[in-house]
């Protein structure tokens, strides 16, 4: 089953690295700390997003939309014909076109990426970061933070985060690959502390007649 390149981009951003202690901008750290602290106050988060792929010249190659619901370590992600369910221990990746679900254990010690890391302690990794300043995006004032990996063998060289200054949440993320392509994620809307039952984060086979199950646990 195909994996979402969207999640691969998350993995690029938020794989487990050691914390970079030098060359970091204290003003940028204050902003990132505030984002992490704000996220931890939410019992649930529901967000709609746009995922865009561009070439090195800035020409759009692909634009897709999706949604995510998060509750603690649980999440449900819907994106480009796929649904991913995680109850904190098990991950179900459902491909609608193939009517197939792949089941895996979530290995938290392996650096496996979870969408929660986008909104929380993503900067406690091996990145250098600096605050580039503020700018207006529509009615929002965003603060842009530029991040570069300490490990130069990574497949990307720069990450740009835009933080909604008023909301203290991430508005967008852009990854610049060494090969030239750019991958960006933009939050279109977000709701917090909405009711969500635990069974929303578990794949219910009875709701998908004829589904093919590939259990890799």
The predicted pLDDT at position 74 comes to: 92
Tokens of 139: 């009615």
At residue 8, does pLDDT exceed 50?
no
Between 10 and 140, the more confident residue is: 140
Tokens of 23: 């060359």
As a whole number of angstroms, the distance between CA 97 and CA 82 comes to: 8
Which residues lie below 8 Å from residue 163, measured CB to CB, with a gap of 6+? 31, 32, 35, 142, 143, 144, 145, 169, 170, 171
Name the band, by pLDDT with cuts 50, 70 and 90, for residue 103.
very high
pLDDT tens readout for residues 122-166: 555 667 889 999 999 999 999 999 988 877 887 889 989 899 999
pLDDT tens readout for residues 40-92: 899 999 999 898 999 988 888 999 998 989 998 899 999 888 999 999 999 99
At residue 2, does pLDDT exceed 50?
no
The predicted pLDDT at position 10 comes to: 46
Between 8 and 19, the more confident residue is: 8
Q: Where are the domains of the chain?
A: 5-126+188-215
How distant, in Å, are the alpha carbons of 9, 76, 111, 126 from that of 108?
18, 17, 6, 18
**Which range (17-21, 26-30, 154-158) has the least confidence?**
17-21
Chain mean pLDDT for the chain: 83
Name the band, by pLDDT with cuts 50, 70 and 90, for residue 96.
very high
Assess contact for 19 and 125: CB atoms under 8 A.
yes
pTM of the model: 0.78
The domain defined by 5-126+188-215 carries CATH number 2.50.20.10: yes
The predicted pLDDT at position 155 comes to: 81
């Amino acid at each position: 089953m195909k994996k979402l390149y969207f999640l691969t981009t998350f993995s690029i951003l938020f794989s487990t690295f050691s914390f970079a202690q030098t060359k970091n901008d204290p003003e940028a750290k204050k902003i990132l700390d505030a984002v992490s602290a704000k996220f931890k106050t939410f019992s649930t988060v529901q967000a709609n997003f746009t995922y865009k792929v561009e070439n090195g010249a800035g020409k759009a190659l692909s634009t897709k939309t999706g949604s995510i619901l998060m509750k603690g370590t649980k999440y449900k992600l819907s994106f480009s014909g796929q649904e991913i369910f995680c109850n904190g221990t098990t991950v179900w990746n459902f491909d609608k076109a193939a009517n197939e679900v792949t089941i895996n254990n979530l290995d938290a010690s392996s650096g496996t990426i979870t969408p929660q890391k986008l909104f929380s302690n993503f900067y406690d990794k091996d990145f250098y970061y600096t605050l580039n300043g503020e700018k207006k995006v529509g009615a929002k004032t965003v603060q842009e933070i530029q991040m570069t990996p300490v490990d130069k063998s990574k497949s990307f060289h720069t990450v740009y985060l835009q933080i909604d200054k008023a909301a203290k949440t991430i508005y967008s993320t852009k990854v610049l690959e060494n090969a030239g392509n750019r991958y960006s994620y933009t939050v279109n809307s977000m709701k917090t502390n909405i009711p969500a039952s635990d069974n929303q984060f578990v794949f219910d086979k009875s709701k998908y007649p004829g589904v093919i199950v590939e259990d890799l646990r």
